[in-house]
Structure 1
Amino acid sequence: MLPLPDFKDYIIQNALFTDQHKILLTVSGGRDSVLMAHLFKLSGYDFGIAHCNFNLRADESQRDESFVRMLAATLGVPFHVIHFQTRAYASEHNISTQMAARELRYTWFEQISIAQGYDLIAVAQHQDDAIETVLLNLTRGTGIAGLHGILPKRGKLVRPMLFLSRQQIDQLIEANNIDYVEDSSNLSANYARNKIRLKVIPQLKEINPNFGETFEHNIQRFADTELVLQNVIATLKQELFVDKQGVIHLSIAKVKALNPIRLLLFELLRPFGFSEHTVGDLTSALDKQSGTSFYSTSHRIVIDREDLIISSLSNQEQPLVFIYDLATVVPLLNHQIMISYADVPFFERSANRAFIDADKLIFPLVVRSRQEGDKFIPLGMKTFKKLSNFLIDEKIPLSEKDQIPLVLNGNGEIVWIAGLRQDNRYKITRATKKTAIFELLPSR
């Protein structure tokens, strides 16, 4: 007899889905996924079956597909199948065969669920899979998030079999005479996960016969600990993160006060893609001079005077923009420049507004970010000044320097450092006949 009450209770307690949902079951043909399919059928849920043929085990792959196709027909549910050239994909993307199979199947599961109107995707991972995952993460190195095992629900993925151990599944399969197919690769110790399952866990069970139950309790404690840490991190983000137009500032003094600093700083910076190693280097460098930078694949952190500044790599530079005429609005990275004509030569100036002698302009004008060697004559001065020195004098944070728009004349001379200073060579005088007004405005 199958454990329908326990199955349904687990689904309800973990809010996995309801009778109103349509579920796509991922079925390999092994005992775990086959038992899941039978439990779904007996419970009356609306579901279909998806099977991936990875073409990795010659005749076995075809045998598995035929078996799952027959299972779906027997249960009277829709069947979806796809064939992958897994080794070719792994070679093309320079990844392992296992990783290739994982990427291919989950991408397809998502695609087929959308195309066929399935609400959720069910996988048949069980308690022992969760234990193997934690041990594997511990072996490779992990943060607290790697210790909670396999979550019952994550996004569209649901795992309704986590209430059962591998031994319980084996007993149910045998007691109910349920047919399944055996994947011979599961018996090979060549894969890290299989090695843990076949060699490590049996040794641990010799030390503690109740190892599975004990470890399940530990996993729950880890999950509770992670929840506490998440709450702490959420509070720290509110206290430490200051958002200035999409750039995050953190007080170095407050960061130094964190305890334990490496753990908390890593959890704060992990959403920006920073590794534990990089955060360790950053922690050691907090007392270094301004300008020291650290990178993830998506963000940069700069030590800038009293702050750590986090900015997106995609927002580092002002893209090149050409201006072919005046009387226009020019969209920029974080702002826009409005340009207009005026016949009256004298106006009240401000940092965000420049009044330029229009007759000195050569089109097209260019808007870009700073470059090595840039120099100009600041308004009111007679000699050149390096842009880099000017920005230092203005105390512009490093994270913002590459985002400042520079308006250049067609001859390459800087006309205006938008929002800061115009060039003295383009100021209006009593001889000016036509004035161009450049105004820096927020993006709409």
Structure 2
Amino acid sequence: MLPLSQFQDFIKKNELFTSGNKILLAVSGGKDSVLMMHLFKALGVNIGVAHCNFGLRLDEAQRDENFVRLLADAHDLPFYVTHFETKKYAAENKISTQMVARILRYAWFEEIRLANGYDYIALAQHQNDAIETVLINLIRGTGISGLHGILPKRDRLIRPLLFLNREQINDIIEEDNIAFVEDSSNLSTNYTRNKLRLQVIPHLQEINPNLEKTFAENIARFTALENFLDLQVVQLRTEILIRKSDGWYLSLTEIVKLNPQKFLLYELLKPFHFTAPVVEEILNSLGAVSGTHFFSLSHQAIINRTDLVIVEKNASMLLNQFIHPSAAKTNFGDYTISLRYSTEIKFEIDAAKAFVSADKLIFPLVLRKWQNGDKFIPLGMRFPKKVSDFFIDEKVPLHLKHNTPILVNGNGEIIWIAGMRQDNRYKLSTATKKVAIFELENN
């Protein structure tokens, strides 16, 4: 008999979906997914069936596709199918067949969900799958999140069979005489998951006959612990990771006080995609000179005197921009430089503006970031000064040094360190006939 009451209780307890939702079922044709389809059908839920043919088992794969198609037709359900060149994709991208199959199927399920108005995608993973996932994560290395294995619900994916184990599913299939197809690859030990299923877990069950129940209880504890820690990290991040206009600031003093230090710093920096080895490198470099850089895929962290400053990596990868006489606005990273002209010879004391004798400009001008060796004559001074020394005097953080727009004349002379100081050679004088007015704006 179908375990409808347990099925309903599990859905309700985990808030998997509501009665008005439309659910897309991932059905391979095996026992698990076929049972899932029968349970949804018995509840009267609005469902559709999706099947992936990975082309890995030739005639058997086609048999599975035909079976699922007939099953959907017999129950008058919408049926969606796709074919993948899995081995070709794996070879081209140099990743495992299993990983490719996972990537392709989840991407396709989401396409079908969006295109046909489904609210969730249901996967037929059960308690034994959850055990295997935890063991795989432990073998490969994992944090706390890897210890909860498979969650009943994550984003648009739901797993409504996690209240059952493999033996229970087999009994239900046999008792109700439910037709299914067997995937011969499940008996192959070429795959890590199958090795655990066929060669490792049976020995663990000899030690603990209630292995599924024990793991389910452990997974529940790990999930609760992860939720608790997430709340603590969110609170800590709010308290000590300060958002400013030019990036995120984390006091080095606060980093030193963290306990456990490596774990908490890793969690604090997780939204910026820093890996555990990079976090360890940061901790080993807290006494390093100002300007030491660390990188993730999306961000860079910079030790700047008393803080670790995190900025988007792309912010420091700025291309030179050319300014022509008619250019009204020019974008440079997070800034825009506007240009206008006036015959009224006057200026304002405003760091965001530069008032330049237009007759001294040699176009095209160049807008670029600071380079080693740059020099200029700060307004009001007579002798050149290194831009790097000027930045130090002005206490400009290193990440801002690299992102500050430098306006350069056609002859190579610096006209303006935008937003900070104009060059004395380009100030207005009694000989000025026309004023070029540059203005810096934040995007």
Question: TM-score band, normalised by the shorter chain?
Answer: over 0.9
Q: Does 1:253 align with 2:249?
A: no
Deviates more, 1:297-306 or 1:340-349: 340-349
What is aligned with 1:392? 392
Deviates more, 1:260-269 or 1:390-399: 390-399
Q: Distance in 2 between matches of 1:134 and 1:402?
A: 44
What is aligned with 2:79? 79
Q: Distance in 2 between matches of 1:70 and 1:441?
A: 64
Unmatched runs of 5 consecutive residues or more in structure 1: none
What is aligned with 2:150? 150
Q: Does 1:235 align with 2:227?
A: no
Deviation at 1:408, TM superposition (A): 1.4
What is aligned with 2:119? 119
What is aligned with 2:62? 62
Q: Distance in 2 between matches of 1:225 and 1:327?
A: 58
Q: Distance in 1 between matches of 2:329 and 2:277?
A: 45
Deviates more, 1:223-232 or 1:424-433: 424-433
Aligned AA (2:322): F
What is aligned with 2:192? 192
Deviation at 1:130, TM superposition (A): 1.1
Q: Does 1:165 align with 2:141?
A: no
Aligned AA (1:250): L
SS of residue in 1 equivalent to 2:185: helix
| Preserved contact between residue 265 and residue 279 of structure 2 (Cα < 8 Å) | yes
| Preserved contact between residue 189 and residue 195 of structure 1 (Cα < 8 Å) | yes
Q: Does 1:12 align with 2:8?
A: no
Post-superposition CA distance 1:199-222 (Å, at most 9, x none) = 221111111111221111111110
Provide the aligned length of Structure 1 versus Structure 2.
443
Aligned AA (2:124): A
| Preserved contact between residue 349 and residue 355 of structure 1 (Cα < 8 Å) | no
Post-superposition CA distance 1:345-389 (Å, at most 9, x none) = 342323222211111012222212123332222222333332222
Equivalent residue runs for 1:124-143 within 5 Å: 124-143=124-143
Q: Does 1:311 align with 2:311?
A: yes
RMSD: 1.5
Q: Distance in 1 between matches of 2:117 and 2:353?
A: 55
Deviation at 1:133, TM superposition (A): 0.9
| Preserved contact between residue 317 and residue 369 of structure 1 (Cα < 8 Å) | no
Q: Distance in 2 between matches of 1:350 and 1:116?
A: 57
Deviation at 1:326, TM superposition (A): 5.4
Q: Distance in 2 between matches of 1:91 and 1:202?
A: 34
Q: Does 1:212 align with 2:227?
A: no
Deviation at 1:401, TM superposition (A): 1.5
Q: Distance in 1 between matches of 2:85 and 2:246?
A: 43
Deviation at 1:77, TM superposition (A): 0.4
Q: Distance in 1 between matches of 2:175 and 2:434?
A: 94
Q: Distance in 2 between matches of 1:386 and 1:184?
A: 72
Q: Distance in 1 between matches of 2:186 and 2:368?
A: 58
What is aligned with 1:274? 274
What is aligned with 1:99? 99
What is aligned with 2:383? 383
Aligned AA (2:297): T
SS of residue in 2 equivalent to 1:230: helix
SS of residue in 1 equivalent to 2:291: coil
Q: Does 1:52 align with 2:43?
A: no
Deviates more, 1:428-437 or 1:251-260: 428-437
Q: Distance in 1 between matches of 2:288 and 2:440?
A: 35
Equivalent residue runs for 1:22-61 within 5 Å: 22-61=22-61
SS of residue in 2 equivalent to 1:356: strand
Aligned AA (1:128): N
Deviation at 1:246, TM superposition (A): 5.1
Deviation at 1:327, TM superposition (A): 7.6
Deviates more, 1:398-407 or 1:387-396: 387-396
Report % sequence identity: 56
Deviation at 1:64, TM superposition (A): 0.8
Aligned AA (2:376): F
Deviates more, 1:334-343 or 1:39-48: 334-343
Deviates more, 1:282-291 or 1:328-337: 328-337
TM-score, reference length from structure 2: 0.97
Aligned AA (1:40): F
Aligned AA (1:388): S
Deviates more, 1:402-411 or 1:433-442: 433-442
Q: Distance in 2 between matches of 1:418 and 1:182?
A: 69
Q: Distance in 1 between matches of 2:150 and 2:179?
A: 27
Aligned AA (1:214): T
Pair 364,168 (structure 1): closer, same or farther in 2 beyond 3 Å:
same
Deviates more, 1:84-93 or 1:328-337: 328-337
Unmatched runs of 5 consecutive residues or more in structure 2: none
